[in-house]
Amino acid sequence: MSDKMEQILDLVSELIKDKRTNDKWSAGEDWVKYSGPHFSDEEYRAAIEVLLSEWLIFGKNAREFENQFPQHLGKKHGCLTNSGSSANLLMVSTLTSKNKLPEKFRLNKGDKIITPIVCFPTTINPLIQNGLVPVFVDVELPSVNLDLDKVEEVLEADVNREIKGIMFAHVLGNPPDMDRLMSLVEKYDLIFLEDACDALGSTYDGRKLGSFGLMSTCSFFPAHHMTMGEGGFIATDNRRIRKVISSFRDWGRACFCNDLKPGDVTSGTACGNRFNKWLPGCPEAVYDHRYVFDEIGYNLKPLDLQAAMGLQQLKKLPEMDDARRKNFDKLYQIFKPYEEYLYLPKATEKSDPCWFGFLLVVKPDAPFKKEEFVRHMEWARIQTRSYFTGNALYHPAYKHIACEHEDLKSEFPNAHVVTLGSVFLGTFIGLTDDKLEHIKNTVDFFFSRIDKE
């Protein structure tokens, strides 16, 4: 490293450390954010060093991240991509490959996939975008996870075996009963696609969430357990599937140099056989393998500087995960006195969630509406979020599917309660004791007025 580069990086460290030293927060004046990045100077140094190296695209840092991260989802292999939503799109699209996958892993247009009707949109969008048919089930309360009784009813009614898989996200890090879920997957020979975007660090019966599905995904959006600005990951134990994922991510390219030897091809390629007769449609042509395409793919690669930040974030995961669990416990004590009005989150038996957030659902018979509570919290400059879509079929994007149902409210009653009543707060490491005290005072004041009415 040159002296000038070292000076630049040292100045970056000095700037960030000064900024952190001067950070101040005042209750009622500054926002209590529900989440955000937990960066020190290391992430900035790593990113700037990559940027100044003039290597911008997927490279050595990205490949190193792909080597290190799969274990965090209990898997052997994986692909880094540019967002968690892209990860879900790649996970589903991979199973539409007609060239590289055995029949048992293939999904065809019209195949049906069970999914909860309360979700994040980019959990269900890849199903629709790939010509698959989502089979919606209601959720349980208070967990808001998919209702396994409803899942079993749907599977028993599927006499023609049109349902080929199941896809869902663990709700803010808390899984459903995975023993029962996996027994249904095995009994009905389903493909399980596991959205673990909100569940990094969570376990069920000592096993990492993300390890149960044929593939699993994770998100590195700034609100998530760790971040590289934007980013996502698809993990699997199957090496062949991993190659197909990377092909779909990299334009559908047949070449696998980014798997084994990312970087400038002027120094050679991974296969050492770049120019050959690769085209079945024109067998006499000698063609560059980097421009042979096996799949109808996308360009969903991340930047190498994102991966450089991600490698630094991995070092911080233990402390960030520990903070989420501790902050969840503190929030539970704040809200427990008001349990008569609220469904409070509880860990599924045998699970140890690394909570993405603290999910509340206002009970239908509560003497206030969710929006009153939300306005009160936001007035006190405490960030809140609804639980994503509520009932997804209430949204304009899905009206073509909603019209197939006679009465969404009666068919999915718990989803209706969640739509009207869900709100969650953050649990991340930036939620310090002074901010938690402000939350407690704000919550207590709200309910003191309710109790007097």
Per-residue pLDDT reduced to its tens digit, 258-292: 565 555 565 566 667 889 999 999 999 999 888 99
Which one is catalytic: 38, 224, 376, 438? 224
Q: Are residues 96 and 214 in the same domain?
A: yes
The domain containing residue 378 runs over which residues? 317-452
Which of 410, 433, 447 is CA-nearest to residue 27?
433
User: How many domains, the chain?
Assistant: 2
Q: Is residue 26 part of a domain?
A: no
Which of 34, 59, 30 is CA-nearest to residue 47?
59
Q: Are residues 300 and 331 in the same domain?
A: no
Q: Are residues 277 and 235 in the same domain?
A: yes
Q: Are residues 256 and 388 in the same domain?
A: no
Using pLDDT thresholds of 50, 70 and 90, give the confidence band for residue 451.
low
How much is the pTM?
A: 0.95
- Supply 86's token pair: 């892209």
CA 443, CA 425: separation in Å to the nearest integer?
Answer: 12
CA 208, CA 186: separation in Å to the nearest integer?
Answer: 19
Taking 3-state DSSP, the helix, strand and coil percentages for the chain, each rounded to the nearest 5, stand at 45, 15, 40
Query: Could you give the dihedral angle defined by the CA atoms of residues 162, 123, 228 and 171, in that order, rounded to the nearest 10 degrees?
Result: -110
Q: Are residues 371 and 234 in the same domain?
A: no
For the domain that residue 299 is a member of, what is the CATH number? 3.40.640.10
> Does residue 9 register a pLDDT over 80?
yes
- Give the pLDDT score at 96: 96
Q: Are residues 181 and 99 in the same domain?
A: yes
Q: At what angle do helices 178-187 and 148-157 cross, to 10 degrees?
A: 10
CA 398, CA 143: separation in Å to the nearest integer?
Answer: 24
- Domain boundary, last residue among 257, 285, 305: 305
Which of 254, 250, 257, 255 is CA-nearest to residue 234?
250
Q: Are residues 114 and 263 in the same domain?
A: yes
H or E element that contains 324: helix 304-335
Q: Are residues 245 and 325 in the same domain?
A: no
Q: Are residues 92 and 225 in the same domain?
A: yes
Lowest mean pLDDT among 236-250, 358-372, 439-453: 439-453
Find where tokens 């089930």 sit.
137
H or E element that contains 319: helix 304-335
Q: Is residue 420 part of a domain?
A: yes
Q: Are 145 and 175 in contact (CB under 8 A)?
A: yes
Q: Is residue 57 part of a domain?
A: yes
User: What separation in angstroms does the CA of 183 have from each of 95, 232, 246, 332?
Assistant: 22, 28, 30, 32
Annotation marks residue 72 as catalytic: no
Q: Are residues 90 and 117 in the same domain?
A: yes
- Domain boundary, last residue among 305, 335, 361: 305
Q: Are residues 335 and 262 in the same domain?
A: no
> Does residue 345 register a pLDDT over 80?
yes
Helix spans in 117-253 (H): 121-129, 148-157, 178-187, 239-249
Is the peptide bond preceding residue 142 cis, with omega within 30 degrees of 0? yes
- Start-to-end C-alpha separation, the chain: 68
Q: What average pLDDT does this structure show over 71-90? A: 98
Q: Is residue 434 part of a domain?
A: yes
pLDDT per position as a tens digit, 194-223:
999 999 999 999 999 999 999 999 999 999
Q: Which residues pair with 382 in a beta bridge?
A: 32
For the domain that residue 325 is a member of, what is the CATH number? 3.90.1150.10
Helix spans in 26-165 (H): 41-53, 60-68, 84-94, 121-129, 148-157
